[in-house]
Amino acid sequence: MEYLPNIVFAIALIVGIGFFVRNVKKLIRNIKLGKKVDVGDNKPQRWKNMARIALGQTKMVVRPIAGLLHIIVYVGFIIINIEVLEIILDGILGTHRLFSPIGLLYDILIGSFEILAFLVIVAVTVFWVRRNIIKLQRFIKPEMKGWPKKDGNMILYIEFVLMVLFLTMNAADFQLQQMGADHYDQAGAFPISQFITPLFDGLSISTLTGIERTAWWLHILGILAFLNYLYYSKHLHILLAFPNTYYGKLKPQGQFNNLESVTNEVKLMMDPNADPFAAPANPDAAAPEKFGASDVMDLNWVQLLNAYTCTECGRCTSECPANQTGKKLSPRKIMMDTRDRLEEVGKIMDANKGEFVSNGKQLLDDYISREELWACTTCNACVEACPVSIDPLSIIVEMRRYLVMEQSAAPMELNNMMSNIENNGAPWPYNQMDRLNWVNE
> Which residues form the interface with ligand SF4 (CB under 6 A)?
310-316, 319-322, 329, 331-332, 335, 376-382, 385-386, 388, 390, 392-393
CB atoms within 10 A of CB 179: 13
Please, what is the minimum distance in Å from the beta carbon of residue 322 to ligand SF4?
4
6 versus 153: smaller Cβ distance to ligand SF4? 153
Please, what is the minimum distance in Å from the beta carbon of residue 234 to ligand SF4?
8
> Is the separation of the CB atoms in 396 and 370 below 8 Å?
no
Distance CA(27)–CA(236), nearest Å, equals 10
Please, what is the minimum distance in Å from the beta carbon of residue 236 to ligand SF4?
11
Distance CA(51)–CA(64), nearest Å, equals 19
Please, what is the minimum distance in Å from the beta carbon of residue 303 to ligand SF4?
11
223 versus 336: smaller Cβ distance to ligand SF4? 336
> Is the separation of the CB atoms in 312 and 234 below 8 Å?
yes
> Is the separation of the CB atoms in 219 and 166 below 8 Å?
yes
Please, what is the minimum distance in Å from the beta carbon of residue 416 to ligand SF4?
22
CB atoms within 10 A of CB 219: 21
175 versus 311: smaller Cβ distance to ligand SF4? 311
Which of 345, 294, 309, 318 has its CA nearest to residue 144?
318
Task: Give 19: exposed, middle or buried? Use CB within 10 Å, 0-12, 13-18, 19+.
Answer: middle
Helix spans in 81-103 (H)? 82-93
- In sequence order, the β-bridge partners of residue 364 are 368
- In sequence order, the β-bridge partners of residue 35 are 300
80 versus 368: smaller Cβ distance to ligand SF4? 368
27 versus 307: smaller Cβ distance to ligand SF4? 307
Contacts of 363 (CB under 8 A, 6+ apart): 293, 294, 295, 296, 337, 338, 341, 399
175 versus 306: smaller Cβ distance to ligand SF4? 306
Please, what is the minimum distance in Å from the beta carbon of residue 156 to ligand SF4?
17
175 versus 394: smaller Cβ distance to ligand SF4? 394
In eight-state DSSP terms, residue 152 is H
Please, what is the minimum distance in Å from the beta carbon of residue 376 to ligand SF4?
3
